[in-house]
Amino acid sequence: MGVSTLGKMVHHVIQTIEPVLYPQLVQRVKMNTQIQEGNTFSNYLHALYATDVKFQPAYRPTGRFTEQKVYFSAKHKLYGFKIECSVAPPGVAVDVSDHAAGSRSDITMMLDRLSIHRQMLKKEDDSVPELGGEPSQFPQMWGVLVDKGYQGAGRVLRTIQPRKQPRGGTLDHEDIARNKAISADRVLVENFFGRMCLLWKATYATFKWNENRFDSVARLCTALTNYHV
Q: What is the pLDDT along the chain (229 residues), one digit of tens a residue?
A: 555 677 788 888 899 999 999 999 999 999 999 999 999 999 999 999 999 999 999 999 888 888 899 999 999 999 999 999 999 999 999 999 999 999 999 999 999 999 999 999 999 877 777 766 666 789 899 999 999 999 999 999 999 999 988 888 888 999 999 999 999 999 999 999 999 999 999 999 999 999 999 999 999 999 999 999 8
Q: What's the helix, strand, coil split of the chain in %, to 5?
A: 45, 15, 35
Helix (H, G, I), strand (E, B) or coil at 49: strand
Q: Count H helices and E strands in the chain, helices first.
A: 7, 7
H/E element holding 214? Answer: helix 214-228
159 phi, psi to nearest 5 deg: -85, 150
